[in-house]
Amino acid sequence: EYNIVRPKGYTVSFHAQPEMEKHHFGQTHPMKPWRLTLTKSLVTSYGMPFAMDNYLTREATYEELNSFHSRDYLEYLVMAAPEDQPRDIENPDKEVKFNLGGSDCPLFHGLYNYCSMSAGTSLDAARKICNKQSDIAIAWGGGLHHAKKTEASGFCYINDIVLAILQLLRIHARVLYVDIDVHHGDGVEEAFFSTDRVMTVSFHKYQPDYFFPGTGGLDDNGPKSEHNPGAHHAINVPLNDGITDEQYEALFKNIVGAVNERYRPSAIALQCGADSLAGDRLGRFNLRVQGHGACVRYCKSLGLPMILFGGGGYTPRNVARAWAYETSIAIGADTRIPETIPEHTPWREHFVHDTLFPTLEQSMSEPRHNRNSEKRLREIVAHVHEQLRFVSH
């Protein structure tokens, strides 16, 4: 038996919109909005909603989306129908506009509603933080870090993270953005490239020409010009296949700890992309649910108001495990919930193994070879610490 109680002294808010989860990118597309339904099912079967303020969020308005995205892009996004999907053979004349309608960012039924709901959850989360009505605000439907001002990219159409950080900046002088998705958080980095009021830190698999999006090298630290306040305010942690919990956790605590001490943010935006877990359909790392969650626990320990965003994650049962576990960390129940997935969990058979913490062997038949040497990881840490000497607050 276990008890889920409201955390003492702080508030966690959970922002979701079940209508968003009914959208489909296409039969074999890796992005499955349904993973959010599976996540909510696990969160609920563990009793976590009792410990949080739960909000059914509204759709973001056109004007809200326009606070980052350009009108010409948004107008096309509103109008574009699945029939406009460029098809090489059937519609040879149709061009791909704003990178919309390719295989990564298809035009599907209800696309604009899907985008405005995702943005709505993140904006609501940001407003709860700004109003001090929430200490940790959870928006698993957001985290779409690749979207650009005038372009869709990598399954992302609207950059809900940028919209949410813009809200935080109304109240907070400095915001720290941390990104543990296996892909580089290029859209967020680019959006705040010229300001020192947001510092971005992305951990990702880096292999230009072989792994999307190909940016985020160790030396990419913001504009090179000394007169640009954004210089040195982008930190990139490029990694290779097969990194383990132990290595990742040590690296994460070292780097995020040092950034926090130097930069002194007053709020944190943490993108929790679950494609960095072992066994992910697109990912390459060997992280377990515990190692992924340790990053959330560490950020929470810094004692700052924080938004938790979703992001990537292409093996739905593991996405649900990670985000449910991270919800339990937010409410401080992670040491109290049982490791065995509750009997009454809807779609329980979907989890294959009945544990919240599958082993590497349960996650994939053959664990990936670890291509991260201790020497290289030390070089990365040294470079980051060198960059931080240029950062003042």
Contacts with ligand ZL4 by CB under 6 A lie at 26, 28-30, 103-104, 144-146, 154-156, 181, 183, 212, 273, 275, 282, 311-312
**CA atoms of 237 and 115, how far apart (whole Å):** 29
Q: Are 150 and 142 in contact (CB under 8 A)?
A: no
Sheet holding 136-139, edge to edge: 53-56, 12-16, 136-139, 306-309, 267-271, 175-179, 198-205, 234-239
Has 146 been annotated as catalytic? yes
Considering beta carbons, is residue 144 or 166 the nearer one to ligand ZL4?
A: 144
Q: Please give the Cα distance from 154 to 133 (Å, whole number).
A: 33
Alpha carbon of residue 392 to chain centroid: 27
In whole angstroms, the minimum distance from the beta carbon of 382 to ligand ZL4 comes to 27
Name the residue nearer to Ca ion (CB basis): 179 or 249: 179
Which partner, ligand ZL4, Ca ion, Zn ion, none, binds residue 280 by CB below 5 to 8 Å per kind?
Answer: none
Pick the closest to residue 252 from 288, 309, 203, 287 (CA basis). 203
Contact 164, 125 (CB under 8 A): yes
A 10 A CB-CB count for 59 gives: 21
Strand, coil or helix: 129: helix
Task: Pick the closest to residue 310 from 39, 127, 13 (CA basis).
Answer: 39
What's the CA gap between 219 and 390, in Å, rounded?
14
The correct pick among 15, 40, 183, 368 for binding Zn ion (CB under 5 A) is 183
Report the alpha-carbon distance of residue 295 to residue 250 in Å, rounded. Answer: 10
Q: Which is nearer to ligand ZL4, 155 or 285 (CB)?
A: 155
For residues 330 and 300, the answer to whether their CB atoms sit within 8 Å is yes
Residues 280-319, one symbol each (x = binds Zn ion by CB under 5 A, - = not), give --------------------------------x-------
Candidate segments 94-102, 160-168, 173-181, 326-334, binder of Ca ion by CB under 5 A? 173-181
What, of Ca ion, Zn ion, ligand ZL4, none, does residue 32 touch, CB below 5 to 8 Å by kind? none
Q: How far is the CB of 211 from ligand ZL4 (least distance, A)?
A: 8
Least distance between Zn ion and beta carbon 385 (Å)? 27
Range in contact with Ca ion (rule: CB under 5 A) among 180-188, 256-264, 318-326, 382-390: 180-188
Q: How far is 108 from 102, CA to CA, in rounded Å?
A: 11
Rule CB under 5 A: is residue 292 a binding residue for Ca ion?
A: no
- 205 near Ca ion, rule: CB under 5 A: no
Q: Which of 202, 236, 244, 318 binds Ca ion (CB under 5 A)?
A: 202
Q: Helices (H) and strands (E) in the chain — how many of each? A: 11, 8
CA distance 96 to 29: 18
Number of residue whose CB is nearest Zn ion: 312
Which partner in Zn ion, Ca ion, ligand ZL4, none is near 204 (CB below 5 to 8 A by kind)? Ca ion
Smallest gap from residue 145 Cβ to Zn ion (A)? 8
Q: How far is the CB of 125 from Zn ion (least distance, A)?
A: 20
Residue among 134 and 276 whose Cβ is closer to ligand ZL4? 276
Can you point out the beta strands (E) in the chain? 12-16, 53-56, 136-139, 175-179, 198-205, 234-239, 267-271, 306-309
Nearer to ligand ZL4, 40 or 183 (CB): 183
State the catalytic residue, choosing from 145, 146, 184, 232. Answer: 146
Residue 143 touches Zn ion, criterion: CB under 5 A = no
Per-position x/- string for 266-285, each x denoting binding to Zn ion as judged by CB under 5 A, each - no binding: -------x-x----------
Candidates 104, 135, 181, 189; binder of Ca ion (CB under 5 A) is 181
Residue ranges that bind Zn ion, judged by CB under 5 A: 181, 183, 273, 275, 312
**Enzyme catalytic residues:** 146
| Residues lying near Ca ion in the complex (CB under 5 A) | 179, 181, 185, 202, 204
